[in-house]
């Protein structure tokens, strides 16, 4: 286990128009700081994002039908290129992880946003703890969603995933802190 400056890490979550980092667009980024000594969480970055290719063909994206994020919110959002310096500064200061790390970080890397200090993926760590059988192959475990992880670690604390970047990052950081306290997440 390596020693971190101030024992703080960052958790990032993004919302997108789809699953392909080369074809789909980032709509929102949330980054929170987690203090591994106290469990304190603070929002470092929370912004809607507009990429140049955003247009009416994205109106029916899954996120607009499954959260309170609306197409119209993105039309006047700040351009990603204008926010890159601020995002990069944060990512350079902290070890970074995400619940679905490959998904979130692949979108950033496809936009030439460097992530120099990566931690293990929260979801893959949770997968090996929950051991939920994969529906079509009982010899493998499915990748649990945030709701399944939350319900496992916090069975008496009601939560419904909002699919909004900062709120999701806050709850993912709480899952990470629980893993860390239990000695189940390596830093």
Dump pLDDT digits (tens) for 93-113: 999 999 999 999 999 999 999
Which residues does the chain have with pLDDT short of 70? 1-5
- Please give the pLDDT value at position 3: 55
- Please give the pLDDT value at position 146: 96
Q: How far is CA 63 from CA 11, 18, 71, in A?
A: 20, 8, 9
Query: If one looks up domain 5-181 in CATH, what number appears?
Result: 3.30.420.10
Question: Would you say the pTM of this structure is higher than 0.75?
Answer: yes
- Please give the pLDDT value at position 1: 45
Given CA atoms 106, 107, 111, 113 in this order, what sign does their dihedral have?
A: negative
Closest to 80 in 3D by CA, of 39, 26, 15: 26
Task: Sketch the domain layout of the chain as residue ranges.
Answer: 5-181
**Other C-beta atoms lying within 10 Å of the C-beta of residue 138:** 8
């Amino acid at each position: 286990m390596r020693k971190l400056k101030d024992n703080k890490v960052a958790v990032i979550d993004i919302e997108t128009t789809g699953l392909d980092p080369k074809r789909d667009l980032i709509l929102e980024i949330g980054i929170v700081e987690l203090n591994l000594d106290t469990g304190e969480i603070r929002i470092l970055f929370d912004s809607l994002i507009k990429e140049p290719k955003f247009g009416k063909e994205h109106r029916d994206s899954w996120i607009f039908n499954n959260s309170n994020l609306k197409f119209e919110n993105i039309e006047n959002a700040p351009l990603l290129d204008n926010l890159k310096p601020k995002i990069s500064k944060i990512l350079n200061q902290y070890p970074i992880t995400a619940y679905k790390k490959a998904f979130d970080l692949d979108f950033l890397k496809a936009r030439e946003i460097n992530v120099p200090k990566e931690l293990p993926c929260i979801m893959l760590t949770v997968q090996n703890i929950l051991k939920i059988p994969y529906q079509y192959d009982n010899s493998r475990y499915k990748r649990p969603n945030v709701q399944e992880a939350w319900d496992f670690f916090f069975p008496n604390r009601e939560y419904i995933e909002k699919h909004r970047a900062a709120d999701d990052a806050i709850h993912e950081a709480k899952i990470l802190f629980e893993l860390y306290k239990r000695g189940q997440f390596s830093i």
